[in-house]
Structure 1
Amino acid sequence: MALVGLAQTGKSTIFQAASSTAVESGFLADSRLGFDACLVNIGLEQAALVDLPALRTLHDLQDADRLLLMALLGGETGHGGKGGFKAPDVLIQVVDATALEPNLALSQELCQLGKPLVIALNRLDEARERGIYINVEALSAALGVPVVPTVAHMGKGMATLFETALNAFRSKTCPIPQLPGPHLRKALAGLNDILDTPAVEAAFHVPRSLLLTQLAKDHTFFTAEMARLFPSLMPAVEEARAEAARHLPRPLAEELFADRHYRAAALHEQVTRLGHAAEKAGWRRGLDRLFLHPRWGLIGTLAVFALVLFMVFEVSTTLDSLTSAPLAAWVGQWEPDSTVGVIGRAVADGLVGLIGIVVPYMLPLVLLLVSLEESGIMHRVAFVVDRGFHRIGLHGGVAVPFLLGLGCNVPALSAVAASSSGRERIVASLLITFVPCSARSAIVLAIGGKYLGWEGVLGIFLLTMLIIAVAGKLLTHRYVQASPGMIQAIPPYAMPQWRRLLAITWERTSDILTTVMPLLVLGSVVLALLSHFGADAIINTLLLPVTSWWLGLPVVLGVPILFGVLRKELSLLMVYQALGTQDIAPLLDWVQIATFLVFLTFYVPCVSTFAVMLKTIGRRDALFSVGLSVGVALGIALLCRVLLQAMNAML
């Protein structure tokens, strides 16, 4: 599929909306005319999409237009056999609805190429705001091609456009030939007879109507080629051209130009009417400007992000204090001495931990994001952030799982598994483990907010964003196969239905019972038994190279670090227990506190996350994720320690 059209019609915007994370660029032969190409998934099919340079006209072929015409008819081999594309099977002409007439002149010329053609009637919203109303059905009938209204910068009509292009390829339906006026056809009859020979058709490989109009003018590329290939026919061609001019009121080239624009103007008048500027489209148009505007669309995305943060740190925190916190306090009164009692307490702790994940953080956040998806808002957020995610090798469709990860990484990984596959699923899953879930964020806010101030907390969260971006770029070298482009549909706004909301929420959270709960309880039992049999000192000794030598922390923090694998909130509680106080400032300086928080932020999220990764991306990549998170945590924590110590020495 090739995107063609005049300059400034929105071709590149459509290409960027559909393009993959790996775009190949090249130049047309012997020129500086650049093109971009990528693979795009359209339903179950895959197509090669090419964004060609602007095409001015086929009427008066300058060098640039001639090279584009040759590429449309025969493809482009590229330099060294790389970076090229085969002759397009389908042409998608991007038309500016606010300046329809000059675009229609090119449309009629493209109809001469004998290839399936689809018109993307772009900027239709701007046309309506200017009082320009276009009869899409009448335009489609007049040209014999499908016409799809689009608003490219908002992603509207993209899915329909590419599905229509795919159907045009399957049906092999070509446009209605746009012939010159009757007086020109009569005048060019003699020249047309000369071209009616197999040798000429075989030599040029272009549609007859295009060759006819090109040879009717002197000093064109086709005229020169005709003189080179068939010198014996040139006297007859020149005589036929002179005979045609004798029957016309002006020179032949001028008559062809005037006829072309007359037919475009007539078609424009046929399918367009002017009226009053369109009224505001109400709240839907207002929301689209908030979520999809090229400049202000980020405001809507940030509003959704703020809503998620409010849900995590206000609503979920309140629910936690009403549900799992009282249960944890009640279970905490049980201090068994026997091995059986310790196991029972560990099972209870595991179940309370499960409730602490599901009830306050998972269910409300998943329900919120499903509601935003069903209403059509999350599709718009995904479209806006798509280009940013391309920089780390992903599509904007993973925005929803990343937002879920702010509450809990477990449902985020399940959402990635449901919405992606292959390389994208693996890379997104690996990166989500670095998204600070509510548990890790709670530790950063509790300790960092108290001892580092808001600047330290902000610095840690900004560091997290930086590491995710850098890790995404580096992972492209491990998982080199780029994902094909994905056409993101922009559905109409809709009111979510409760029955569907609950069904989807259950579908995305049911894995917690079958996969996470057994491992969470088992991990709790194992760690409780280690503590029961006095293995704390052994664990701290084994972790001495990490805690004391590498991170510069007290040796007693080895156990809190290890138990944090079970659930991050345990780390906060056990830090206080290990140090014997909740006021840790006298025992840890600000550099140690910052180092410890950075390490916990990037360290393995929890055993629940690992359990889901085993199921969604397999054992090999799940183990790689553990190694990656441990390596990143150790590396970034050491770097922060060194830099902060140097900064502290300078103060």
Structure 2
Amino acid sequence: MKNLILVGQPNSGKSTFFNALSGYKALTGNFPGATVTYQEGELNLFGRIYKIVDLPGTYSLIPQDKAELEAKKFLVKHKDATIINIADSSVLARSLELTIELIELQRPMVLALNMIDVAKRKGILVDEKKLEKLLDIPCIPTSAKRGRGVIEVIRAANKNKVPENSITLKFQKDVEDVIQSLAKKIPSEAIKELSIPARTIAIRLLEEDKYYVKTIEKYDKNIKNHIEKAKNKLEKHHGKEAKFVIAAERHNLAMSIFEQVTTFSKNRETISLGDKIDNFVLHPFLGYIILIAVIYGLFSIIFNVGAHFETLILDKFDLLSKYIETSISNKMLSLTLIGLVQGVGGALGIAIPYIVPFLIGLAILEDTGYMARIAFLADSIMHKIGLHGKAVVSFVLGYGCSIPAVMAARNLENTRDRVITAALSVLIPCSARTVIIFGLVGFYIGKWYAIALYIVNILVIGIIGRILTRIDKKLVPGLVLEIPEYHMPVLKNVLIKTWIRIKDFITVVLPLLIVGSIIMVYMEHYSVDTIINSALKPLTVYLLGLPEKVGTTLIFGIFKKELSLMMLFQALGTNNLGTVMTHTQMFVYAVFTLFYIPCISTIPVLYRETGKKATTYVIFGTLILATILGFAARLLGIIIF
């Protein structure tokens, strides 16, 4: 089996390239001893098996966060793997800076000049043959979105070409002299352990890379003295810190190579269509109006599609349940089949009609590049809360699922921001809660009330976030965010993303729903649910004003949020909740389930990311918050409805 490692800067099309190779047959793994994830897949091509690892996007091998650190360590340790560097051809000068760092490792390598079609539209023409000679590695033009050049990259990877003959990737003489002098001080044992050239190690030491310093110190306790002398020499000559000298040299080298291998078409646009669109989309006033319109449009589609299929499907399954009840005399068999039918009906009639259009819409927003623009617009809001702009990444992901939202918080620079962001992200209405909001409030009360719940949710998160950040005040740095080019979404990619996200529902939630439905039927038959409902009566009936029978559904909701709504139909014995619940009760139920305890799949991830103490606070804090807001919704409902 041949190992291939995909490395590239964020928004270089690396994940699209990975999907083009492995499709939806990808596994998500964790680096040993870390919580940073990577994608892994296999490819059968040219009569051999390839293991493909898609590392987190990184701008440099000098790590700025956990993701970049783990990506660098993975590269260093996997000495026999071939590196496939995915570079955005439309911003090639910047992309080449990472390419130069990778070449310094002296590993088998291929450069995929991705988004070559975008570069051509911008009037940038790349001479890949000349670039190959300069870098001494295969350089293949690709468009991963279209699947062009992808197979050629794998074919080139089979050559195991190590860029050892390149004479162009050298810095100025005085800088090279310092590097070579320091390289001679590096113990041979350390060079052997790292399996990279002494020159490369010396460069990393001058850039203050702690990983390399720590490794060298095992063999030479005085290495820091040698590093300081080398740094002082560079700083004295150039008037700035050594790490900035190296960065400037690499930047100049990348620019020099870029100028040698690119030409510009005379008919290129001075202002691209994307820039013209961004004048409106990122406008400080119009941008938010457009954002509201986009979100309203998405929610309207979700509501209209979901409402249409909910009625259509539930009526059919209700008829089937009644038929089983009257036709099968064996009570045990009848109960089991009714539970099975109601479970499948709940999934097909309530969950799927709302989840699928939501996930398709989310994938389209991501693939077009609009999701990054949402993050840009939300940056100022994050600062008002008191969080770093990067926190918005967790919040945006939270609308899909709480688990990746919590995990995304790990890339924030300090513990305070990571814990607060992870805690707030579990309050975001995920796709499962979207089912509750639209399947209950939107369907029975009206879509404007459903949208109002989202607005209330944002306000609550903002208030709680402000309180938490005021407790532990810190200066919040600005957000440096790359805005990718606009792209036309490709149907195949959208469907693959949707499938990856929904297969967990099919493989995990659907079996749980069926088993839960069967259990609920038997609990009702043997009156076990009465015991649970009675125990929860002070909360459900006295405080929230809900029907007593909803108690068991809230327990199921802890396993998977969408189960609470689907089990509600069964607990109340109807496929039309409007006949047994008032609008106020529906609104209260939705508010409570929107904010109460995170699902059981999220809790261990939250524990791993934030620790035992923070997780305990989140569990009990969300329960208290949901109770307070649920009671407030009850009082408000009496006035409104």
- With the length of structure 1 as denominator, give the TM-score of the two structures: 0.47
- Give the number of the structure with larger relative contact order, counting CA–CA contacts within 8 Å between residues 6 or more apart: 1
- With the length of structure 2 as denominator, give the TM-score of the two structures: 0.47
Larger radius of gyration, structure 1 or 2? 1
